[in-house]
Amino acid sequence: MRKLNKYLVKDYLTVFAVAMLLITFAFSIGAIYKAIDIMAKGLPVGIVGRFFIYNIPYSLAFTIPISALFSTLLVFGRLSSDSEISAMKSSGLSMWQIVSPVVLISLGLVCVCLYNNCVVYPSTTYANQKLIKGLGVEDPIKLLEEGRFIREFPGYMIYVGKKNHNRVRDLVVYEVDPETSKVTGSIRADSGIMTADKEKAILKIDLFDVRIEIPDPDNPEDTAKTRYVNARNYPIRLDFNKLTGQKEIAKKRKNMTISELAYRIRNADSENSWMAAKDRRIEHSRYLVEANQRICLSMAPFMFVLIAIPLGIKSHRKESSIGMVMSLGIMFVYYLFLILSDTFDSHPSLYPWLIPWIPIVGGQIVGIILLRRAN
């Protein structure tokens, strides 16, 4: 029995590792493209690496359950097609004894997913938000790209003709009203130097050979009344906090750990006392949906394994194609319920936080029934 368990565990973990590697890579393609875009701006490799690593825990929230499902269908489909399941049962083993090592592995995956989904991935997605917001502080000049308008600077639109390290040439700066988004003035300069004072949190842009256009405030479209001022140099000073929004990046529900979500759920009325009663109920519902989705997503490996074992045995196929098709079907049904809970999260009367539990409970019941029949 011990050798049999070792054989099953080794076979299952090998397939699971390969499946998770491939599926995680597929889930990370978007992050790879974003990392390449960040690298193209000339930012250090360390920042690009941190950005990519911070994306992995979020991918694992989905790839671990999917890998467990696919590997279970594949392994037990192969065991069934090779008549190994029949041989094990002929030797006096029940289905529960045969599948127990894989079921125990799935429970271990549930524990890993609970920690990842409730603590790790909310923290890393929030850290990624702060990292992206802080890219300009690391080296502000690298936010500027040649030949296009830059709108990352609040109150300004900046065009750079050429740049070389912290020196820029053929610079055009439009001053923009933050409320109306209308241009209130423009500055053209032959060259400029950008430096960052991190202690004072100030971005300094010193422009040289400057021509300033100041439209008439009463009639800005009348170019005849526009005033022109020439200057040898003109300084622009920007606050880092306003530039990158780093005063305090507000946490979204996706960025909150399970303890923070629980606090918001318990104190929904006091935290949102300024809201109308209806809006408070909606906000409370949305926090409940997020918390229940996290827990249900963590329970998915156990449910997927229970339902995939009898389906894999019944398929009697050695090819991975049938396992892939069945995996896609099961995943579609499961994630459809997650999407439905998001869709109805603003309707507390429908109890949308219970919707993610329907496939979890239903899948476990179906899996146990199918396993009893296979036994």
Whole-angstrom Cα distance, residue 181 to residue 188? 19
- Read off the amino acid at residue 20: M
SS3 state at 374: helix
| Tens-digit pLDDT profile for residues 137-164 | 455 556 666 766 677 667 777 778 788 7
| Tens-digit pLDDT profile for residues 160-177 | 878 877 788 888 888 877
Strands 227-239 and 167-176: unpaired
| Joined tokens for residue 24 | 């995680």
- If we measure between CA atoms, which residue out of 31, 60, 20, 29 comes closest to residue 297? 60
- Main-chain phi, psi angles of 70, to 5 degrees: -65, -45
| Tens-digit pLDDT profile for residues 66-114 | 999 989 988 888 888 877 888 888 888 888 888 889 999 999 999 999 9
Whole-angstrom Cα distance, residue 362 to residue 337? 12
| Joined tokens for residue 201 | 């949190």
Angle at the Cα of 360 from the Cα atoms of 356 and 363, rounded to 5 degrees: 135
Q: Is the pLDDT of residue 201 over 90?
A: no
Q: Is the pLDDT of residue 136 over 70?
A: no
Whole-angstrom Cα distance, residue 326 to residue 88? 25
| Joined tokens for residue 195 | 């430096």
Whole-angstrom Cα distance, residue 230 to residue 211? 5
For residues 154-181, one letter each, b for 16 or more C-beta atoms within 10 angstroms of the residue's C-beta and e for the rest, the string is eebbbbbeebeebebebbebbbbeeeee
pTM tops 0.85: no
